[in-house]
A and B are shown apart, each in its own frame.
Chain A
Amino acid sequence: MNAARDEILARVRAALADVPEPERPADVPVARQYATGADAPAGVQETVSLFVERLADYGASVRTVSPAQTGTEVAKTLASWGAEQVLVPRRFPAPWSAHLPAAAVLGDEGPLSADDLDAVDAVVTTAAAAIAVTGTLVLDGGPGQGRRAATLVPDRHLCVLRAEQVVASVPEALSRLDPLGPLTFVSGPSATSDIELERVAGVHGPRTLEVLVVR
């Protein structure tokens, strides 16, 4: 095992004989002339509108709701899906789940097995951030998001996020995220382009994705 490691490293070093000895990684110039999006503040009207438009473009339904409406909108959406069992991860904001019938609410205690998750009708979560230009949600397992399987196995996902979590660009989002925990970037419902390169929604991940932006 270590023999393989030593040999590969030795081969790599021998292959790089043309790199002068004093050169350090930072000596190889990298021009970051591309846009970082940091000039557009998170959560402003323009950024949120772009996010709504771009995510909708991928087949998710997205709408903005006021803080006061949020709880009823969450309940209304889940009811419209006919969801009898709804997974609500730990530390999901209480006012947002207050209008759900108590009997419908399921926690991820135990935790649930993969089969249990498969039997759940829907999951409702928060998010860590969102990216306007690409129409992307980012989940980091933080409060109200649950573990990764919780937003994967159930067939319907309702995500509630605050307008100030919506940043303009990919660089801005990455700078806000902690890579040490597992992250999932979600841009629309599960899809495939594997047949004649035509994009169709609905393969293994949630086939329905709905997003509420609270502002």
Chain B
Amino acid sequence: MSSAFLGMPPFPQAARRALADTQLRRNLAGATRTIRDKRAEVVRELPDWEELREAGRALKERTLRHLDHYLLQLEERVTAAGGQVHWARDAAEANRIVTRLVQETGEHEVVKVKSMTTQEIGLNEALGSAGITAYETDLAELIVQLGEDLPSHILVPAIHRNRAEIRDLFRREMAEAGEVGDEPAELAEAARRHLRRKFLRAKVGISGANFLVAETGTAVVVESEGNGRMCLTLPETLISVVGIEKVVPTWQDLEVYLQLLPRSSTGERMNPYTSTWTGIEDGDGPRSFHLVLLDAGRSDTLADPIGRQALNCIRCSACLNVCPVYERTGGHAYGSVYPGPIGAVLSPQLRGTGGAVDRSLPFASTLCGACYEVCPVKIDIPEVLVHLRARVVEETGERRRTPSPEALAMRAARWVFSSPARLAAAQRVAALGGRAVGSRGRVGRLPGPLAGWTDARDAPAPARESFRQWWKRTHR
């Protein structure tokens, strides 16, 4: 992933640092509250929301279980429509392909549509080292790029900056900004003036895509500002870098995602602009279109039948906005372009669990389940988190050759949680134990093999009666 995130500390350290930043916490609390309310309102408007979510999930399952079939169909249709398809095994290969394609045009500047995938592979840095300047044109990406900052949110990468900070940045870095004020409308106007000439003279545009339709070879970009339309329409050459998991089977299937995505993402019934294109079109838009299909850990993720569902993600960021952990730490603490709950399950799978950051991410959650409830494609994030925790702990144990106490506890927890009868039995035992050790309402350090677990944690003393026991007693 992007080299900009290299050297980030594991989540617990990064989170501690972020929590000390009160300005950051205020900015995040304000922004996430706004978007949560907007989302809830427009989701309430659709009586068939749950049916749409289920269809969104099922379509992704169909696609992923037959991904090879759909990728081949997509390649054939894009090629038939005049586009060229390239395949990239990893970030470095994708960057080489895009750099070569830009060099073949003879240009030294490209305009870019906001794209998580190109962030992930560090495309701007790779182009830069080949002497090609990439201009980010999305307002939030522009704020991040001008401030030499890192993105902290999937939808709004500059969510950690408030209007006054952005005003100061624009006054400092943007010749066209002059003495711009801190009203969002004024700041948007300054960005318009700053990018206008770049759009009008651009010869090469680079984008990602929200969806690729296998049946027709159609690519889809969902956006708000019109910067996407500029980059997709005005240049002579268009290069789109897209993860292989972005395929959907048919044109009709978009009817599900074009309802789920805007409402979950910006809390709008529909985003201002959605562009779809199929290969190239005579007399309208670019004369050449290149689609770079990226693996970069996606096939590894696909190989895990539980972890695989993380590939359903349509990058709406609803899970970030409801997450109590994200709201307090912000996105940078996750050490990846994919922050929040989805990042905690996606990054360790795409990058592998070799590094300290990725081993810490599955633990960056309280497992409260709010992310699962809002997910428009029903990714069971808590399930994947627990699964990855077990994997991380087991891998660590393997390196030590004997299983750590944590690994044993995880294995036991998995065994207990996978059967309602075992769970009920364990809860009864815990309640009895709670009477013995929970004197001040907390279970502190325990003796023997359990010390490895309780050394780093306090646990509330188990309730005298489990919910299941209470239900049984009072609902007979």
A11 near B295: Cβ-Cβ < 8 Å: yes
B271 near A187: Cβ-Cβ < 8 Å: yes
Binary interface profile of B, 173-208, with partner A (CB < 8 Å = 1, else 0)? 000000000001101110110011001110000000
Closest A residue to B274 by CB, please name it: A185
Number of interface residues of A (CB under 8 A): 76
- Let me know if A197 is at the binding interface, CB within 8 A: yes
Tell me, in angstroms, the Cα distance from A197 to B152 when the chains sit together.
14
- Let me know if A39 is at the binding interface, CB within 8 A: no
Q: 6 closest pairs, A vs B, by CB?
A: A205-B226, A15-B303, A204-B226, A134-B270, A11-B299, A203-B225
User: Contacts A34-B48, A170-B255, A194-B139 hold; do A12 and B302 have CB atoms under 8 A apart?
Assistant: yes
Tell me, in angstroms, the Cα distance from A148 to B284 when the chains sit together.
7
A182 near B67: Cβ-Cβ < 8 Å: no
Closest A residue to B114 by CB, please name it: A194
Q: Which residues of B line the A interface, CB within 8 A?
A: 27, 30-32, 34-35, 38, 47-48, 51-52, 54-55, 58-59, 61-62, 65-72, 81, 86-89, 93, 137-140, 143, 156, 158-159, 162-163, 166, 184-185, 187-189, 191-192, 195-196, 199-201, 213, 216, 218, 224-227, 229-230, 232-234, 244, 249, 251-252, 254-256, 258-259, 262, 266, 268-278, 281, 283-285, 293, 295, 299-300, 302-303, 305
Residue numbers in A under 8 Å from B69 (CB-CB): 25
Tell me, in angstroms, the Cα distance from A32 to B255 when the chains sit together.
11
Instruction: Kindly specify which of A63-71, A72-80, A97-105, A172-180 makes contact with the partner chain.
Output: A172-180
B227 near A204: Cβ-Cβ < 8 Å: yes
Instruction: Kindly specify which of A1-9, A40-48, A121-129, A158-166 makes contact with the partner chain.
Output: A1-9
Q: How many Å from the CB of B145 to the closest CB on chain A? A: 13
Q: Which residues of A line the B interface, CB within 8 A?
A: 1, 4-5, 7-9, 11-19, 23-25, 28-36, 54, 58, 111, 114-115, 118, 131, 133-136, 141, 147-149, 152-153, 170-171, 174-175, 179-206
User: Contacts A149-B234, A198-B184, A204-B195 hold; do A13 and B68 have CB atoms under 8 A apart?
Assistant: yes
Q: How many Å from the CB of B92 to the closest CB on chain A? A: 11
Residue numbers in B under 8 Å from A24 (CB-CB): 66
Residue numbers in A under 8 Å from B276 (CB-CB): 179, 182-183, 185
Q: Determine which of B61, B166, B259, B273 lies in contact with A205 in the assembled complex, contact meaning CB atoms within 8 Å.
A: B273
Residue numbers in A under 8 Å from B139 (CB-CB): 192, 194-195, 203
Q: How many Å from the CB of A1 to the closest CB on chain B? A: 7
A16 near B278: Cβ-Cβ < 8 Å: no
List 4 other contacts, CB 8 Å, given A147-B284, A148-B284: A8-B293, A187-B268, A190-B224, A190-B225
